[in-house]
């Protein structure tokens, strides 16, 4: 029988989705499952953007330009200018989701065997993208006790080798919800400049910053403009995960030209998603004001509830819609599966993502889970009650 590739064997399973068969079985048994494992917002997608799709008169659904429809790229550039990010349509490549933008970045800037430093825990699919590209992830550990703040520059320097080509961050962070400050990003800029590295920044959660905190984009870091690659997406911003449209943005013309080769090889980004995005850019700020209020209320339910539970700790995230909580459990993979297979509280249970899948360092995240607070406040309260009751009877409880 033919054998699969070594790359295929190395490809990690998604910690976000790998427990889905267990949740499916729980539902078959009549158990209600609160899905806090995945960042799928239940917020309504902007109506005008949906109408733009419905009203479009298309006779031939043709290829677009490999960088994306010009009018859409111009509209996206307008969006960034509202955030004081000065980019033009000639510096933007529209991609099939933020995922493809990351693949373009890895393939354009790193050779197989080259290293990228990423603070962990990090978005689990970065590992998958690295395997696909032959890139080696060098994790630098951030810790829950200080809310997952950026590790010191000295710790970064310890990891830099002749193979190091890039540093990658997610800001605001998935899975921790940590929001990197302007000072932390300036410290990163200094090391990027010192060692002439690429700085890749996933900023898909830009709209979601709380408690008066402000987003500072890597595109506004001085003296490293040629080193920076911005990775973005419409998925979370407009509650449009199914649109699958992302952005690869750089002022480095050589990097842009290289990424365009990969863009041409896959022909073009999805046309319907570009029509949607062009309209979505005009979504009024009042939409985001309401969304922020809703997420803050949901976050508060999670943080306040967990910090009242014996032996539990959850930092208060300043952005995105995720939190990582430390629980008195022996193994988060076992615990999350047990919740679906063996536990229910009044016919209900909760599904988390084991934090082990968000670390690259073996053994990390064994007592942590990632929580996506994408459900309404009442559902969040019910899910936290399920967690509280589960911890009372879980056989692998550590206190």
CA distance 397 to 390: 10
∠ CA 360-144-303, rounded to 5°: 120
pLDDT in tens, 68-90: 999 999 999 999 999 999 999 99
Q: Helices 20-28 and 332-341 sit at what angle, rounded to 10 degrees? A: 20
CB 120 within 8 A of CB 358: yes
| CA dihedral for 106, 276, 290, 34, sign (positive or negative) | negative
CB atoms within 10 A of CB 215: 18
CA distance 253 to 251: 6
In the prediction, which pLDDT does 69 show? 97
DSSP structure class, residue 232: E
260 falls in which pLDDT band (50, 70, 90)? very high
Please determine, for residue 240, whether its predicted confidence score (pLDDT) is greater than 90. Answer: yes
Spatial CB neighbours of 245, under 8 Å, sequence gap ≥ 6:
94, 95, 96, 97, 233, 234, 235, 269, 270, 273, 274, 276, 277
Please determine, for residue 15, whether its predicted confidence score (pLDDT) is greater than 90. Answer: no
In the prediction, which pLDDT does 17 show? 76
371 falls in which pLDDT band (50, 70, 90)? very high
CA distance 314 to 305: 9
DSSP 184-204: HHHHHHHHHHHHT-EEEEE-T
pLDDT in tens, 16-71: 678 999 999 999 999 999 999 988 888 999 999 999 999 988 999 999 999 999 99
Residue from 394, 387, 208, 364 nearest 307 by CA: 387
In the prediction, which pLDDT does 13 show? 78
Looking at the chain, the whole-number percentage of residues with pLDDT higher than 90 is 94
Who wins on pLDDT, 399 or 114? 114
Q: What is the mean pLDDT of the chain?
A: 96
Please determine, for residue 161, whether its predicted confidence score (pLDDT) is greater than 90. Answer: yes
In the prediction, which pLDDT does 115 show? 98
pLDDT in tens, 341-353: 999 999 999 999 9
CB 123 within 8 A of CB 144: no
What residue ranges define each of the domains in the chain, with the CATH number in brackets? 6-44+286-393 (3.90.1150.10), 47-280 (3.40.640.10)
Who wins on pLDDT, 399 or 299? 299
CB 152 within 8 A of CB 129: no
The stretch 179-187 carries a mean pLDDT of 97
Spatial CB neighbours of 357, under 8 Å, sequence gap ≥ 6:
12, 13, 14, 15, 16, 18, 124, 365
In the prediction, which pLDDT does 335 show? 98
The stretch 153-176 carries a mean pLDDT of 97
Looking at the chain, the whole-number percentage of residues with pLDDT higher than 70 is 100
First CA to last CA distance, the chain? 49
């Amino acid at each position: 029988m033919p054998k699969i590739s070594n790359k295929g064997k190395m490809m990690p399973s998604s910690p976000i989705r790998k427990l889905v068969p267990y949740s499916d079985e729980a539902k078959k048994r009549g158990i209600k499952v609160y899905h806090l494992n995945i960042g799928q917002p239940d917020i309504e997608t902007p109506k005008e953007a949906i109408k733009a799709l419905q009203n479009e008169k298309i006779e031939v659904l043709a290829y677009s330009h490999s960088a994306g429809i010009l009018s859409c790229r111009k509209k996206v550039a307008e969006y960034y200018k509202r955030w004081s990010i000065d980019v033009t349509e000639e510096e933007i490549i529209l991609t099939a989701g933020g995922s493809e933008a990351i693949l373009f970045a890895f393939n354009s800037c790193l050779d197989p065997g080259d290293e990228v430093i990423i603070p962990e825990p990090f978005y689990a699919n970065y590992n998958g993208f690295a395997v696909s590209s032959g890139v080696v992830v060098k994790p630098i550990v951030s810790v829950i006790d200080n809310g997952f703040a950026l590790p010191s520059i000295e710790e970064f320097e310890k990891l830099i080798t002749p193979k190091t080509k890039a540093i990658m961050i997610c800001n605001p962070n998935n899975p921790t919800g940590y929001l990197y400050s302007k000072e932390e990003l300036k410290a990163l800029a200094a090391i990027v400049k010192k060692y002439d590295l690429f700085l890749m920044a996933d900023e898909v959660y830009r709209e979601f910053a709380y408690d008066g905190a402000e987003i500072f984009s890597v595109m506004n870091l001085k003296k490293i403009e040629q080193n920076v690659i911005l990775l973005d997406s419409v998925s979370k911003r407009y509650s449009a995960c199914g649109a699958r449209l992302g952005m690869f943005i750089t002022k480095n013309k050589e990097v842009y030209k290289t990424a365009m080769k990969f863009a041409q090889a896959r022909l073009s980004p999805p046309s319907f998603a570009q029509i949607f995005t062009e309209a979505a850019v005009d979504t009024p700020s009042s939409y985001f004001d309401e969304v922020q209020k809703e997420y803050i209320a949901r976050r508060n339910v999670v943080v306040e509830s967990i910090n009242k539970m014996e032996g539990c700790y959850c930092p208060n995230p300043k952005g995105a819609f995720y939190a990582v909580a430390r629980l008195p459990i022996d193994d988060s993979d076992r615990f999350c599966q047990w919740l679906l297979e063996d536990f229910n509280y009044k016919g209900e249970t909760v599904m988390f993502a084991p934090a082990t899948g968000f670390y690259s360092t073996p053994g990390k995240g064994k007592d942590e889970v990632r929580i996506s607070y994408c459900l309404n406040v009442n559902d969040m309260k019910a899910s936290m009650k399920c967690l509280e009751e589960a911890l009372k009877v879980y056989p692998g409880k550590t206190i």
